[in-house]
Amino acid sequence: MQNIRNIAIIAHVDHGKTTLVDKILHFTNLFRDSENKGDLILDNNDLERERGITIVSKNVSVTYQGVKINVIDTPGHADFGGEVERVLKMADGVILLVDAFEGPMPQTRFVTQKALGLGLKPIVVVNKVDKENCRPDEVYENVFDLFFSLDANEEQLDFPVLYGSSKQGWMSTDWKEPKEDFTDLLDAILKHIPAAPVVEGTLQMQITSLDYSTFVGRIAVGRVARGLIKEGQPVSLVKRDGKIVKSRVKELYVFEGLGKARVTEVKSGDICAVVGIEGFDIGDTIADFENPEQLEVMHIDEPTMNMLFTINNSPFFGKEGKYVTSRHIHDRLQKELEKNLALRVVPTESPDAWLVYGRGILHLSVLIETMRREGYELQVGQPQVIVKEIDGVKCEPIEVMVVDVPAEVSGKVIELVTQRKGELLVMETKGEMQHLEFEIPSRGIIGLRNNVLTATAGEAVMAHRLKGYEPWRGTIPGRLHGVLISLDKGTTTAYSIDKLQDRGKFFVDPGVDIYEGQILGEHIRDNDLTINIVKGKQLTNMRASGTDDNTRIAPAIKFSLEESMEYIQADEYIEVTPESTRLRKIYLTENERKINAKKFQ
């Protein structure tokens, strides 16, 4: 056995994983006192910092009492489950982090199931015990029930539990007796997580993630499963389909603190980064040069949703973006496939459009947002769920959705969810909140979050996870209102918007350039209405008292990218450029829309 522990930190989104890793890094004196330590050190990409979530898993290592602990920080959102599934292969144990008030949430269940299925040893940390209304003892019982329902073995059910507050920087075996630091947690890791074993034999290492350097290109990251790997060693790369490519290791690195340290060899059990292997994909095996043996190929859960990605062909095309052609978009999607395992890209009959399959709205919106920031212009269609035929029956993805909401508005939430073919399974009181659990088709969740937040004045907390495929639940009503569509190209005027405010709510402000066919707002009725808001006031040299009152315009509604994706219908696109997102009809002129109306019925 070596003095190495490989541990992954898993939790529901926003339960404090990245903060916990920060505090472990600080506690093990990874920084000099003079350094500016900051917080959420591992969420180093702009999108992660803005949204306050982890999107890509990260590796760091710390040393405690002479033992190297490799820590893997994982995303908490089920949409990034592909990321979690592959990195768990590198760990020998997991720290399951649970909020002391919320308890195990749907996505906690998703990642815990994967970890227990791989036979990993869990340590449970009940975090945020400094919050009001926290119920650490009840949450501990809930976690035990969760493990039991997931068929955990006896060793896994006998898990150690710690209580604490990552934010305040302490962990303890008893939540009523706060300690000063993280000693109890790190001691528990050394005591309960098995040491990484040394496995003799020829080399075997599975590539579980990618790193990239502008100097040396793509870097393969994974755990050495058997034997040892050396710098300069000739190796065989066994592809997922069994094809063997001969290659050579140029440089080897192990994770040390937040960075990497160059070494000459790495034994089995440690996690390393390999430079010099060409043409690898995630899931490939780096094996012995003469007698290559493949490790079991990773199986990632299937995507549940797809969207059409196409080039931007609006009248404003090319004004804001740097990469606008179909070749640019195709190359970028292929590049994304290398590291985003849960994604699929399928060409369509048109050379300018692709169907992109993903795990959910958030999974796809993060890809679109990343492309937009890199300078791409594109258009995306309405998200569609993937329907399968199982034993001759049409089936669709069904999700388990949990909503925590103030008791007085729970009736509104139940009404909204049942309209979308949701079934109420559990209704119980949690402190001052009502805890509701539903089974609902994935298509029912698209566009639901906005309505629920509006109905509950923003107080509802929603989370969902995929349960599986079940028979089709029938038609779900779409958007209740029609839209206001631009009749002309030009610049919007306050005068026209003011005169048309009784027709609906606007998405655009005065003084904005618009084009024919762009969606400007929501109609008060259920049909679409074409309007002209580029018309200015007729100016004459006559003046009458009262006619020149200032216009009073309600503020425009601004959608985030996810909200836009949930809002649009089958005959609409979102135009995404580095500087703006616009909603538009696929067919821009009224005549074309009438001719093609039957396509979308």
Strand-strand pairing, 93-99 and 4-11: parallel
CA distance 523 to 489: 20
328 assigned to a ligand binding site: no
Q: Which residues pair with 251 in a beta bridge?
A: 275
CA distances (Å), origin 378, targets 101, 474, 569: 42, 32, 17
Q: Check whether 481 is labelled as a binding-site residue.
A: no
Is 130 a known ligand-binding residue? Answer: yes
Mind spelling out the 3-state secondary structure of 139-208? HHHHHHHHHHHCCCCHHHHCCCEEEEECCCCEEECCCCCCCCCCHHHHHHHHHHCCCCCCCCCCCEEEEE
Partnered with residue 406 across adjacent β-strands are 433
Write out the DSSP string of 1-37.
Answer: --SEEEEEEEESTTSSHHHHHHHHHHHTT-S-TTS--
Ligand-binding annotation for 17, yes or no, is yes
567 vs 273, 324, 448, 554, 558, CA distance in Å?
43, 25, 10, 20, 12
User: Has 129 been labeled as part of a binding site?
Assistant: yes
Cβ 353 vs Cβ 308: under 8 Å: yes
- Check the annotation: does 127 bind a ligand: yes
Asked whether the beta carbons of 163 and 126 are under 8 A apart, the reply is: yes
| Burial category of 582 from C-beta neighbours within 10 Å (exposed 0-12, middle 13-18, buried 19 and up) | buried
Looking at the DSSP assignment, which residues form a beta bridge with residue 405?
A: 434
Strand 67-73 and strand 4-11: the pairing is parallel
- Residue 505 CB-half CA count within 13 A: 8
Strands 259-263 and 228-230: unpaired
Count the Cβ atoms, other than its own, within 10 Å of residue 289: 14
Cβ contacts of residue 475 below 8 Å, gap of 6+? Answer: none
User: Which of 280, 110, 268 shows the shortest CA–CA distance to 208?
Assistant: 280
Cβ–Cβ < 8 Å for 222, 269: no
- Residue 18 is assigned to a ligand binding site: yes
Burial class for 306, CB neighbours closer than 10 Å (0-12, 13-18, 19+) = buried
Question: What span, in angstroms and rounded, lies between the C-alpha atoms of 528 and 208?
Answer: 49
Report the candidate in 71, 2, 1 with the shortest Cα–Cα distance to residue 30. 71
153 marked as binding residue:
no
What's the DSSP call for residue 539?
A: P
Give the DSSP H or E segment for 117.
helix 106-117
The strand ranges marked E within 175-310 are 204-213, 217-226, 228-230, 234-238, 244-248, 251-256, 259-263, 265-267, 271-275, 285-288, 305-310
Alpha helices in 214-356 (DSSP H): 326-339
Annotated binding site for GTP: 14-19, 127-130
Annotated binding site: 14-19, 127-130
